[in-house]
Amino acid sequence: MNKREVLFLLAVVLLAALVGCSDADVASQNLSKAADQFEVERRIVFYNGITDHYILVVEGKCSLGNYDSEGELSVTCKTGDESYRKHYLGLSDNVTYFAEQLESQPVDVYHYRVIFKPSAIVPDVDLQ
């Protein structure tokens, strides 16, 4: 497959994804991608529904876990140029959370956002 065929195939896939999407859907997906790139300030509050007390509050440029197990939530926050912290929290029938976006974020409702990270495709391998 040459470069032109690959680009055409990619355009067809993206066009198929766009069919039937509202502006709100596109904006929501782009906001989620921005948050996963640590561009969005969030406040994530965990609270006990029985005692009505906050258990934990996490604030900063944080991404919520995308592939967590049921009853678990991971929160990864960027704390510096090359530093991150990851928290694992257990959810139950009486412990839940909500995430609040603290600042508005400019997103384009006419274009999807696609992010390629070569380091994720070709991982850095440590030999011991």
pLDDT (tens digit per residue) in 38-83: 999 999 999 999 998 999 999 999 999 878 888 899 999 999 999 9
Least confident segment among 8-22, 38-52, 67-81, 87-101: 8-22
How high is the pLDDT of residue 62? 94
* Listed residue (69, 65, 71) closest to 95, CA to CA: 71
The CA distance from 120 to 94, in Å, is: 37
pLDDT greater at residue 53 or residue 117: 53
The CA distance from 40 to 119, in Å, is: 22
Average pLDDT score over residue span 99-104? 88
User: Would you state the structure tokens that stand for residue 47, as one six-digit string?
Assistant: 């609270």
How high is the pLDDT of residue 19? 61
pLDDT surpassing 70 at residue 14: no
